[in-house]
Amino acid sequence: MFSSYQQAVDALYRRINFESLAAGKPGGYSRGDFKLDRMKRLLAAIGNPHIKIPAVHVAGTKGKGTTCSLVAKILQLAGFRVGLFTSPHMYRVEERFQVNFEMPSPERLTEMINRLMPVVDELDAHHKGMNITFFEIVNAIAWRYFLEEQVEIAVLEVGLGGRLDSTIFCNPAVTAITSISRDHTRVLGESLEEIAREKGGILKPKVPLICGVTEPTAQKTILEIAERLECPVQQMGRDFDFKITGKWEEQKRTQQVQYMAGSDRITFSLKQPGTAVAQNASIALAIGRQLQKLGYAIPEAQMQYAFSESPLPLRFEILSEKPMLVVDSAHNEASVESVLKTISQHLPGKPLTVILSVSRDKDYPAICRLLQGVDLLIVTNYLGNRRALPIPQLKKAVADSCRVKILDAPSPADALALAREQTNPGGVILATGSLFLAAEVREQALATAQK
């Protein structure tokens, strides 16, 4: 038995954790390591709590975390008791499983780990091979917590891919796929068709699908899977769509978006700028409309109010002014391109300093190529995870890809201090390339603001 919160959490982190390992590298992991038998046995050993709670199951290369949070907010405002499972976390593991956006207390988490780990150890002893992983244990804790907290519906973000992700055992009322682009290619496949097949693995027979995938090859693959499984589909661009009707203004910090489905028109406000967040919000609204059809009492007003709440952490989150500090968890080519485009559109003409760190298993040359035109690039390492690409390697990749002024700093805190020193008050500092970097810069910025 663990006598303290820290001992219990340390025990979790001693488990195999694919989030801290690089795919396809020595000491890393490959597709063959993702096996569903471990999770199936673990859930059965604790009474299969996952089958007792309906779920919204969301996959996608980018946007799935934002979409999950917005759907959970819609349901909470409508009066439901909502479980939200997301990954990875910023600072504390219990951020991953919340009920009505409240984490379990440290004492409650310690108690849940103490109850679960003997079950895990017994299963490991009886089934030789790779032991039950960090993510699988956290997922099991979440399900048991949701059941004990009398959650009425759970909203689940897929960890990686879909077909072989441990969240696959949920009992979905609705599934959704937000987008598909190239990421985690060593595990999910090199082509968009392969990646789509992995993510399309979350579809269940006759369960409605909300599909935000617009890339033609990936969309075709997803729709073929849906047809085979007889899933009713709401497809973005065909059955529903959105348009930005009011440009985000720096002073007001809101943008107006209109959701369109047939003759229906719903206008709502968003705190964050850009097309990506508008698309994710529209997918969340489409999920809400589908839940209405399934009998969930969700007033239209609650769906609109959900989007006008405070900005989501690490999604174009503005933390300070003069210079403006933006942190964004973009971590692949498509998402970094999106955040840079948002800055150019909504903060035009402002000098831009980028703080960059990426994971070793990402397509970092492609990310680096996007940085042409940046006024200053500060390369650093996030410290809380072992996957960070070494500074010299990242610095060389940038130099090989574009002509830009490059500095380096040993830590996110040092990088932020250097960026503030080098950027004039009218400029913008963007910390991006990894959720881990964005979280560490955010933590430093908030700590500095409190002094």
Alpha carbons 448 and 451: distance in angstroms, whole number = 5
Domain enclosing residue 275, as ranges: 5-307
**Residue 127 placed within a domain:** yes
Structural contact between residues 266 and 258, judged by C-beta atoms closer than 8 angstroms: yes
Alpha carbons 267 and 64: distance in angstroms, whole number = 22
Same domain, 327 and 254: no
pLDDT, residue 19, reads 60
Last residue of a domain, one of 262, 278, 307: 307
| Exposed / middle / buried, residue 46 (Cβ in 10 Å: 0-12, 13-18, 19+) | middle
Q: Binning pLDDT at 50, 70 and 90, where does residue 311 land?
A: low
Q: Which residues pair with 377 in a beta bridge?
A: 354, 406
Q: Which residues pair with 246 in a beta bridge?
A: 256
pLDDT, residue 191, reads 87
CATH number at residue 155: 3.40.1190.10
pLDDT, residue 187, reads 52
**Number of domains composing the chain:** 2
Average pLDDT of span 419-444: 96
> Looking up tokens 């617009």, which residue turns up?
214
Q: Binning pLDDT at 50, 70 and 90, where does residue 352 land?
A: very high
Tokens found for residue 228: 């085979």
Alpha carbons 364 and 242: distance in angstroms, whole number = 31
Same domain, 297 and 344: no
- Please state whether 274 falls in left (phi above 0), alpha (psi between -120 and 50) or beta: left
Q: Which amino acid is at 305?
A: Y
Same domain, 303 and 325: no
Alpha carbons 242 and 286: distance in angstroms, whole number = 11
Alpha carbons 245 and 251: distance in angstroms, whole number = 17
Alpha carbons 451 and 446: distance in angstroms, whole number = 9
Same domain, 354 and 381: yes
Same domain, 328 and 251: no
Same domain, 197 and 53: yes
**Which percentage of the chain shows pLDDT scores above 90?**
76
Q: Binning pLDDT at 50, 70 and 90, where does residue 385 land?
A: confident
Same domain, 110 and 222: yes
**Residue 312 placed within a domain:** no
Last residue of a domain, one of 307, 331, 357: 307
Same domain, 71 and 177: yes
Q: Binning pLDDT at 50, 70 and 90, where does residue 252 land?
A: confident
**Residue 440 placed within a domain:** yes
- pLDDT greater than 60 at residue 31: no
CA distances in angstroms from 9 to 109, 118, 121, 179, 381, listed in the order given: 9, 15, 16, 33, 24
Do β-strands 241-246 and 255-261 pair in parallel, antiparallel, or remain unpaired? antiparallel
Last residue of a domain, one of 258, 275, 307: 307
Alpha carbons 39 and 165: distance in angstroms, whole number = 9
**Residue 25 placed within a domain:** yes
Angle between helices 300-307 and 64-77 (to 10 degrees): 130
**Residue 196 placed within a domain:** yes
Average pLDDT of span 93-113: 97
Alpha carbons 206 and 215: distance in angstroms, whole number = 24
Alpha carbons 417 and 450: distance in angstroms, whole number = 16
Q: Which of 394, 396, 399 is nearest to 364 (CA)?
A: 394
Same domain, 157 and 284: yes
**Residue 266 placed within a domain:** yes
Average pLDDT of span 398-427: 95
Same domain, 24 and 103: yes
What does the mean pLDDT of the chain come to?
A: 91
pLDDT, residue 393, reads 95
Tokens found for residue 381: 């390492």
Structural contact between residues 242 and 282, judged by C-beta atoms closer than 8 angstroms: yes
Say which residue, 416 or 17, is predicted with more confidence. 416
Q: Which of 224, 86, 91, 71 is nearest to 153 (CA)?
A: 71
Structural contact between residues 36 and 166, judged by C-beta atoms closer than 8 angstroms: yes
**Tens-place pLDDT, residues 223-242:** 999 999 999 999 999 999 99
pLDDT, residue 23, reads 44
Same domain, 85 and 135: yes
CB atoms within 10 A of CB 434: 26
Highest mean pLDDT among 43-57, 290-304, 391-405: 43-57
Average pLDDT of span 171-196: 81
Same domain, 222 and 260: yes
CATH number at residue 380: 3.90.190.20
**Residue 50 placed within a domain:** yes
Structural contact between residues 174 and 294, judged by C-beta atoms closer than 8 angstroms: yes
Q: Which amino acid is at 165?
A: D
**Residue 433 placed within a domain:** yes
